[in-house]
Structure 1
Amino acid sequence: MSEPSVVLHSIEALRARVAALVDARSAGDPTAGDPMRGLYVTEEAARRIASGPDGHAGHAVGVPLPDLGRDDRLGALARAFGLSSLDAHILLAALAPDVDRGFEALYGYLNDDVGRRRATVALALDLAGTGPHDPVGRDRFHPAAPLRSGGLLDVEDEDRPLPGRALRVPERVVAHLLGDDTRMDPQLAGVGVELLMPFSVGAVSDAAPSSLGARVAAAGPVTVHLRERVPGAATEDVVAALLGAGRPVLRYRPDSVDVVVARALLREARLRGAAVVVEPLPSRPGPLVRVLASSGTTVVLAGGDAPDPGWAPDAELVTLEAPDAGAGPAGLWHRELDALEGDFDLTEATAPYRLSGDQIRRAARAARALAAFEGTAVTLAQVQQSARLVSAPLLDSHARRIRPAVGFPDLVLPEEPLGLLHELTGRARNRDRVLGEWRLRTGGGRGRGVVALFAGESGTGKTLGAEVVAGELGLDLYVVDLSSVVDKYVGETEKNLERIFVEVDRTDCVLLFDEADAVFGKRSEVKSSHDRYANLESAYLLQRLEAFDGIAVLTTNLRANIDDAFTRRLDLVVDFPFPDPEQRVSLWHSCLAGTPKAGDVEEEIVRCAEEFELAGGAIRSAAVTAGYLAAARGSAVTGEDVRAGARREYRKAGRLVPDAGAPWAP
């Protein structure tokens, strides 16, 4: 028998019960033939009602309740939601007007009110052979009872006494019982819910699921809190295992805690026999977890935060630490860009990005779309741009974003610091292998972050070096705005820093603390309350660096100002020396590379490099000054423009500038 036929057969059986109840009511009702019946109450009717506690007593219809042992939609629904036979009968009584319009007139007659065309609590219980006086029957309408807690039945008219309240079955439940599961509940539209069917398992993962995924898929109804270091890495494996086991999966990516959506999601999952995967958990997820936990289906709650017992104190919540992702993300990148024709190493190019499987798929789609728009094969720049877009952190209120536009050829440094910068990029690319697979940084709470200190005088290239590292990794550089971070009120600075660290931990970027002395300075002897709270701030930062998972660069003009405890936690310390004359010549050439130059510029650059001891930042400013002087005349940059720019930077630095006309001048 088809699914609609099963429900229609049950409705026909209900029709016989309704007919019997109509006969019983009309036999004892002298106004049964009155065409205005239900619009007013006669004196005789009032006396009849007043003659007993229930004017309908004795009219209950004793009929057998539905058989829930059959393998049909009604039986499956009862098993999924824990319904009794009485629950199923109540559900059918409430469902009937949505399937057969004739029940509207019948219910209007039985309710003694032609305007009330749905079953009421009293009518549903009368049809079940009991009545509204029965405590067991009344309990089936409690908000915690299966029908209402599962979202199968709405009880309307809350201001009325319970027996007179109308019953309504949500449209999604009606469609399911009639065999229609083509669409999800409308409440789940546009809120980040995606339905994955078992036949799409090959599109999710071609690899065999790990032991973790297999354990979750085989565990039956269970609520699992999956704590991940890399967002989505283990979740993808669990989803693949569930789909491989023939279970549909409802993936939910909540922007906030919405209990109404959570209840609709849970009902949808139980109707379909699907598992629920929530990733990532929003902040303060307690109400969401309490709705989803111990729900009778498989629920996976994925996130990076430690579980809080207060989320669902009465629920059985199983917490699992996600294993290291290994080569999983790299494999997914290759599957998504399998037709890649670019001349670059995809594994190396995507190593700095800690993206979830869903983010990788979105980034790959964006890269392919961009390549199609530009009429090229997928390039390294397109992959990096797409990856940056899906993982951009929300740091605009505390940091300034720089889109890197420089590379190692733009740096003028000695071999040692240049080599350390290359090593820094290598550490960022290989940290999952070295610190994860090889476990070379053990200990509870230890992060996999890469933190470097760039030390040197102002203008020696520290910020440029950080930009080069970010550009080499294909990441954006975020420069922390200390004015929005440091706060005079106790504890506020730590809160602002925590927001930054949390956001960087779960996204991909390079974080730059310029002039880091302000927050990473030496601790001092406690002589006042100010010293005490300043030391507490330093203690917080020391602990936070231990657990940091991102990439950060600290810069300072005076390395001695940085606390030794911070230095111990640094991966690299790169000293940016003051440039010598030969390097200053290279810096002048680099800064003036795009300008038209007169013939005397080359010789003047050499003389200025010897005569004016300027750092790279000052040389850049001098070159800009020379460019403006030349543009004002409408000619090329001359040697005199170069010297004028150098002299101006010398004066800005408060240094003596030789007078070219003086007899002692060289």
Structure 2
Amino acid sequence: MDDSMGTRDGHASAAADAIAGGDAIANGDANAGGDSVAGGDSIPGEDGQALAAAVQAVLARVDAHASRATSNGSRPGASPSGGAAAPRDAATTDEPTTPAAQQPPTGARERRTATHPAPAPKAISGPATLDALVACFGLSTFERQLVLLAAAAELDPTAAARCAAASGDPTRTYPTFSLALAALDEPHWSALTPVSPLRRWRLTELDDETRLTTSRLRIDERILHFLAGSPYLDARLHGLLRRAQTPQTLPASYGRAADRVAAGWNESRPEAPLRVELVGGDLTTRTDIAATAARRTGLALYVMTSDDVPTDAAERDRLARLWQREAVLLPAALLLEVGEMDREQTAATDAFIDAAAVPLVVSSPDPRPTGRPRGERVTVPGLDDTEQLALWADAFADIPRIQKSHLRSLVAQFQLPPHVIRSAAAAVLRDLPDADTDADTDALDPTELAWRAGLIEARIGLDELGRRIEPEAAWDDLVLADHQSRILREVVAHVRQRATVHQEWGFAATLRRGLGVTALFAGGSGTGKTLAAEVMAKELGLDLFIIDLSQVVSKYIGETEKNLRKVFDAAERGGALLLFDEADALFGKRSEVKDSHDRYANLEVSYLLMRMEAYRGLAILTTNMKKALDPAFMRRIRFVVDFPFPGESERAEIWRRVLPAQAPMKDIDPQRLAQLTVAGGSIRNIALSGAFLAAEEGDRLQMRHMLAAARTEYQKLDRSLTPSEVHGWV
């Protein structure tokens, strides 16, 4: 597809500028639909009167042609040879051009000219919408009048009879190219070609393209309504495009990004015309930035997804032309949201982007790996604490009992875009009772509701990447040595006081890197690593997400980093506690680089360490093989907590805490149960299984039930109970 929309040989950007910079659309809303106009007099306003006058002027030319043909004694609308009317020489006469052998004698021509002088054609004025159409699509004088002639058939009830009279055929009650070539000013045959503006952009259409000069010529309905001052989105684009609303306010950082998008359109280069790549953030944020850029440029913004780009080349070309015409008429820009695509859809999307000759934003979470010129790349910036605080304060302005200190704690924990913060505030307002109700307003803490709303909003996008656990365990549920518990509480303090130390005390400015809180939990299966993470999440009021690294690691080069990036990007919104389980799948001793796979494996480890160190929440890794980890990796972890296999006294304490006080028990001895050499996870399994066996018998929980449950657990572990472990049980 070529880009000749602005002028006959020009660029579509000139067309967009012609409308955006003038008063092309005099009336109406770009979203409004337009009804067909019954007649010229029914079009309101000065533009309506100007359009009606222009229609009458072009019909007067049709009448003049009919009069000339009648006075000549020939059939109007046809050449003397009986074919279609040939183009007239506009510089000499209004009469149809005929072969020299068939011209009347010179004297007769002179007498006729003296008796009926041909008036000099007057330029036909028209409404601003017509002038805009001419400027945008580079229409010639002949093409301009041809559009008016086609519009006359819809707007003037006398047009049918006048066309029939001018054609000399009572059945031909409609405009044709033949009639236009004979009756209108400055005719040229190139207006009939498929690459002419009239047909390329479907300003006019032929009922039968096999009869080029004699087929009925119609004006496209969208163009007719545009001329009448009733612009709207072409119905053929409904379902594919949606109108983006411009946000009332935008943070300063986003506003600067919008300025860069607008500048990218204005400073387009031949290799990447009118195209901007907008990456990062979420779709709503990218749309808000693009919509603001469009408004500042005098454009509307419509949004389309790459999945809706046709893979068939002909359909894609029709869609591209239709949208480019709409972009000029409205005027508007397009945001194309690019997601995960297969190879065929990717090729179709790239072709659609390459063909774009009107303002376009290619929107995606991450930069697209393509060798094609992509134009200006604008990355959605992160909002600093001052901007975040202003957003929270504005959104929660109508919520009582929310102090600035509470808002600071929300800012320290959550990194949410403006629309999500507004959604969280709306959720709090819904949960708070009205002042005139009998509900106990003191029982509902707005600060707690705001925190919970922030957690819920921050979960979006992360639930599908990991397993979320609602933290319920407390410190009393942990059975650990004092030094281990002390380290865990120290980790909690680092997370809780992060804002104070980093921002208020200025450590973020002096240290700059490695500020993320990272920990390694090392120990065998069932020793309490996940339980400890749950306790810490409960203490911090955070969600706990367990990420199975064995599912994240991919054999395909680059896919592991891509999967990890999705996890961290989603978690950044709420600083969730991330527990990377089975870290041994990725963090074994880094080997010497012998081939490309070794090199990329080391890159995967480095990428994860980099993201962990920059993560604003708490990232915990678990491993069963601490000794196998690379020392260089260990140096980059802030805390290392060992979870040793519990001794007999620790196992007895675990048994005491696992067995509920209200459970009916008989002769249950935690000290004897501690003879089983199993970790805490297995102890919980045995206790629960024994309880079910007792409940099934309708009896109290006894040691024999525990023995049966222990045999089942040991069988699962491929172990056998020894006599010393169950001595004195039954």
What is the one-letter code of the residue matched to 1:194? R
Partner of 2:472: 406
Q: Is the 8 A contact 1:108 1:116 kept in 2?
A: yes
2: CA distance between counterparts of 1:148 and 1:452?
Answer: 67
The alpha-carbon distance between structure 1 residues 264 and 620, as it changes in their structure 2 partners (threshold 3 A), is farther
Which residue of 86, 90, 96 corresponds with 1:59? 96
2:492 pairs with 1:422 = yes
Question: Which sections of structure 2, spanning at least 5 residues, go unmatched?
Answer: 1-44, 90-94, 98-117, 268-273, 310-315
Partner of 1:628: 692
Alpha-carbon distance, 1:153 to partner: 2.0
2: CA distance between counterparts of 1:224 and 1:626?
Answer: 67
Which residue of 42, 51, 59 corresponds with 1:7? 51
Q: Please list the CA deviations of residues 499-518 of structure 1 after superposition, one character each: whole Å capped at 9, or x if unmatched.
A: 52354355347765532323
Partner of 2:522: 455
The alpha-carbon distance between structure 1 residues 422 and 660, as it changes in their structure 2 partners (threshold 3 A), is closer
Query: What TM-score comes out, normalization by structure 2 length?
Result: 0.66
Query: What TM-score comes out, normalization by structure 1 length?
Result: 0.71
Alpha-carbon distance, 1:558 to partner: 0.6
Alpha-carbon distance, 1:92 to partner: 3.0
Alpha-carbon distance, 1:360 to partner: 4.8
Alpha-carbon distance, 1:576 to partner: 3.4
Q: Is the 8 A contact 1:514 1:554 kept in 2?
A: yes
Q: Is the 8 A contact 2:461 2:570 kept in 1?
A: yes
2: CA distance between counterparts of 1:265 and 1:559?
Answer: 59
Alignment of 1:61-210 (within 5 A): 63-67=121-125, 72-79=128-135, 85=141, 87-100=143-156, 102-103=158-159, 119-121=175-177, 123-124=179-180, 126=182, 128-133=184-189, 135=190, 137-138=191-192, 142=195, 145=197, 151=201, 153=203, 155-156=205-206, 160=210, 163=213, 168-181=218-231, 183-191=232-240, 193-196=242-245, 203-205=248-250, 210=255
Alpha-carbon distance, 1:646 to partner: 5.2
Alignment of 1:177-256 (within 5 A): 177-181=227-231, 183-191=232-240, 193-196=242-245, 203-205=248-250, 210-214=255-259, 221=266, 223=274, 225=276, 227-231=278-282, 236=288, 239-240=291-292, 243=295, 245=296, 247=298, 249-252=300-303, 254=305, 256=307
2: CA distance between counterparts of 1:113 and 1:513?
Answer: 83
Alpha-carbon distance, 1:320 to partner: 3.6
Q: Residue 622 of structure 2 aligns to a residue in which SS?
A: strand
2: CA distance between counterparts of 1:566 and 1:372?
Answer: 52
2: CA distance between counterparts of 1:142 and 1:572?
Answer: 70
What is the one-letter code of the residue matched to 1:96? A
What is the one-letter code of the residue matched to 1:250? L
RMSD: 5.2
Partner of 1:17: 61
Q: Is the 8 A contact 1:523 1:534 kept in 2?
A: no
Question: Which sections of structure 1, spanning at least 5 residues, go unmatched?
Answer: 33-37, 39-44, 487-491
Partner of 1:305: 366
Partner of 2:670: 605
Which residue of 542, 545, 559 corresponds with 2:608? 545
Q: Is the 8 A contact 2:150 2:219 kept in 1?
A: yes
Partner of 1:614: 678
Partner of 1:319: 377
Q: Residue 287 of structure 1 aligns to a residue in which SS?
A: helix
The alpha-carbon distance between structure 1 residues 81 and 357, as it changes in their structure 2 partners (threshold 3 A), is farther
Partner of 1:35: none
1: CA distance between counterparts of 2:322 and 2:509?
Answer: 44
The percent identity for this pair of structures is: 26
Q: Is the 8 A contact 1:126 1:132 kept in 2?
A: no
The alpha-carbon distance between structure 1 residues 169 and 627, as it changes in their structure 2 partners (threshold 3 A), is farther
Partner of 1:340: 399
Partner of 1:41: none
Q: Residue 406 of structure 1 aligns to a residue in which SS?
A: coil
The alpha-carbon distance between structure 1 residues 520 and 99, as it changes in their structure 2 partners (threshold 3 A), is farther
Q: Is the 8 A contact 1:370 1:382 kept in 2?
A: no
Q: Please list the CA deviations of residues 533-557 of structure 1 after superposition, one character each: whole Å capped at 9, or x if unmatched.
A: 6524514414643675878654321
Q: Residue 578 of structure 1 aligns to a residue in which SS?
A: coil
2: CA distance between counterparts of 1:639 and 1:323?
Answer: 62
Q: Is the 8 A contact 1:289 1:311 kept in 2?
A: no
Alpha-carbon distance, 1:612 to partner: 3.2
Q: Is the 8 A contact 1:230 1:354 kept in 2?
A: no
What is the one-letter code of the residue matched to 2:131? G
The alpha-carbon distance between structure 1 residues 329 and 189, as it changes in their structure 2 partners (threshold 3 A), is farther
Q: Is the 8 A contact 2:553 2:585 kept in 1?
A: no
Alpha-carbon distance, 1:625 to partner: 1.3
Q: Please list the CA deviations of residues 387-441 of structure 1 after superposition, one character each: whole Å capped at 9, or x if unmatched.
A: 156435665xxxx643534355455553245236536856999999899985966
Q: Please list the CA deviations of residues 88-108 of structure 1 after superposition, one character each: whole Å capped at 9, or x if unmatched.
A: 434333433343455456557
Q: Please list the CA deviations of residues 626-652 of structure 1 after superposition, one character each: whole Å capped at 9, or x if unmatched.
A: 221221133454466456645654565
Alpha-carbon distance, 1:457 to partner: 0.9
Q: Please list the CA deviations of residues 214-245 of structure 1 after superposition, one character each: whole Å capped at 9, or x if unmatched.
A: 565578745463554434657645645765x5
Greater Cα offset, 418-427 or 513-522: 418-427
Q: How many equivalent residue pairs? A: 613
What is the one-letter code of the residue matched to 2:243? E
What is the one-letter code of the residue matched to 2:185? G
2: CA distance between counterparts of 1:512 and 1:122?
Answer: 77
2: CA distance between counterparts of 1:166 and 1:439?
Answer: 77
2: CA distance between counterparts of 1:536 and 1:560?
Answer: 22
The alpha-carbon distance between structure 1 residues 125 and 497, as it changes in their structure 2 partners (threshold 3 A), is farther
